[in-house]
Chains A and B, each alone.
Chain A
């Protein structure tokens, strides 16, 4: 019988059925960072347990790191304590740790794929909701909480319920100036921020097939913003080509054997899904959010919505969101002035994102009075970008060129909004308070759109500015 990747990977990792009826699932790759792991290690110690497979967990530091000066100790004593704890825990339990002084450090969802640690057919878990990112390589990747981090450390397993599967088929060719970010924002707008609860998303169709690995990572990253804990793309030649020669990928004959196994884990032709949704890539325009969740988005040429036109169930939420954002319904969103521009995060902080932004920035300067940050997703991204001279291009234009980390994506480090600042951001969440100011505002969009907004000082259709 034709099976899906979800079926095959689930089956291959099933240890047994638990008394609760859930599946005991083996987790092939566990990634940890400084925010959600310290309590798990503490629980482990209190229970007198060891890490079951220390070589199957990798650690990095990303959320709390300053991106300007990384001199130790950090200026923020609490951040320093978290960094010290992670290093100590990894040392005590024998877990490989990419600390700041390792050239492999970066945002957890950037480095897993980049180092070739994430591979097709794996089960992946990390105490972080954007773990769905790793599905781009054809893995089943689950965001988990701290108690589950403890479970994986102690047993390399999770108690899980198998999700249903929805295939999202994106067909056709997106227009110039339309990026993976616009595709995923369109999907979330269409299916809603809770449309994926209980589902895994399989992204397929001609538009996904021609996407690069980095574009697929952007798509899978935001699955969770649509409520789907897991999102994946079937492994194909793009995947194998991407993995070849990565530090943790198999080499020589082993690579060929790996490819054969990876291929065998992909969804079979004719497999059935619980649901199928179709989307026409050509109909998508550059997107951005106007509200306080990633589903509240519009095309850049559309007017800011009026809550009186909202579906009944959304009316109150829309008017609250508009009030919080201080956006005027009926006006086009293009022309909205911004205070801050942020290019980075696990959604759009990779080399191709920086290149796309650079294409817009080249030969131009950012608007006066604006604060604009480029924050590479990893040290490797930073190195390659610098080798291409991208940092100089950004610096000349008036951007700040920072060190790898989560930065402004969430208010846990020195990069924060102040007061009512409005930020054009390439990250993934526009929740109230997300960027560190309880009343700060975030508009999510593609890195190229952020770059365009930084140049003009206001929201603008990036298609007007492409060379």
Chain B
């Protein structure tokens, strides 16, 4: 792991996105998946929503350059496309704060070094209110202490131990760590009847 793989504290302006159960087809519609790379995905993030809602947060000039995305419940449900977190990351998002996240999406975010922190609904509402009133103030995601700082507050955030540790020690790109266990991998493979041939 390289030093810039370490995710300890992330700060920046926030961009609030209301609504629950926002699926990955909305984050990046399937027609933009027709590519063999992730390049250029940022141009199409929330494309259909942005066309249908001219005042969509991602269209608003005041939110350009924001790095922290605020969402509701079950954000990123639906397909497993890593194109969704990639599109957000390439747009400039560096951390996501919400009430809850769909599981595959959460894992995909973590796997590209994009932390997703969960707040309880009261704290999330206070954070949204603060951002609405002070769109140019920075907020801070502290992964080490598992808190989100805004205004003068420190509110507790939920981040599973596994994801937190991967982000803090910079092993969210898991390949290297997984490869360390060469011999144990072979041992397990040899112990499975369907691998050895029943």
Q: How far is the CA of A155 from the CA of B77 in the complex (A)?
A: 27
Shortest Cβ distance from B162 into A: residue = A22
Find chain A residues with CB under 8 A from B128 CB: none
Do A293 and B21 touch across chains, with their CB atoms under 8 A apart? yes
The smallest beta-carbon distance between B48 and chain A, in angstroms, is 4
Q: Is B108 an interface residue (CB 8 A)?
A: yes
Find chain B residues with CB under 8 A from A197 CB: 74, 100-103
Q: How far is the CA of A49 from the CA of B176 in the complex (A)?
A: 10
- The bracket for how many chain A residues form the interface is 35 or more
Do B80 and A439 touch across chains, with their CB atoms under 8 A apart? no
Do B111 and A145 touch across chains, with their CB atoms under 8 A apart? yes
Q: How far is the CA of A151 from the CA of B163 in the complex (A)?
A: 16
Of the listed stretches A74-82, A179-187, A300-308, A327-335, chain B binds: A74-82
Known A-B contacts A159-B178, A193-B21, A412-B34; the reply to A229 vs B103 at CB < 8 A is yes
Find chain B residues with CB under 8 A from A258 CB: 193-194, 198
Known A-B contacts A197-B103, A412-B34; the reply to A128 vs B161 at CB < 8 A is no
Of the listed stretches A31-39, A274-282, A341-349, A457-465, chain B binds: A31-39
Contact of B178 among A78, A129, A151, A316 (CB under 8 A): A151
Shortest Cβ distance from B179 into A: residue = A155
Known A-B contacts A24-B181, A147-B82, A261-B193; the reply to A431 vs B23 at CB < 8 A is yes
Find chain B residues with CB under 8 A from A227 CB: 74, 77, 102-103
Q: How far is the CA of A158 from the CA of B108 in the complex (A)?
A: 12
Chain A to chain B contacts (Cβ below 8 Å), 23 pairs: A12-B188, A18-B174, A19-B169, A19-B171, A20-B162, A20-B166, A21-B165, A26-B185, A28-B192, A76-B34, A82-B35, A128-B79, A144-B104, A147-B173, A148-B174, A150-B175, A156-B185, A194-B73, A194-B77, A261-B198, A317-B20, A412-B33, A434-B25
- Interface residues of chain A, those whose CB is within 8 Å of chain B, are 12-16, 18-22, 24, 26, 28, 35-36, 38-39, 42, 47, 49, 52-53, 56, 64, 76, 78-79, 81-82, 85, 119, 121-122, 127-129, 131, 143-148, 150-151, 154-159, 161, 193-194, 197-198, 224, 227, 229, 250, 254-255, 257-258, 261, 293, 313, 316-317, 320, 410-412, 429, 431-434, 436, 438-439
- Interface residues of chain B, those whose CB is within 8 Å of chain A, are 19-21, 23, 25-26, 29-31, 33-38, 48-49, 51-52, 73-74, 77-82, 85, 100-104, 107-108, 111-112, 160-163, 165-166, 169, 171, 173-175, 177-179, 181, 184-185, 188-189, 191-195, 197-198
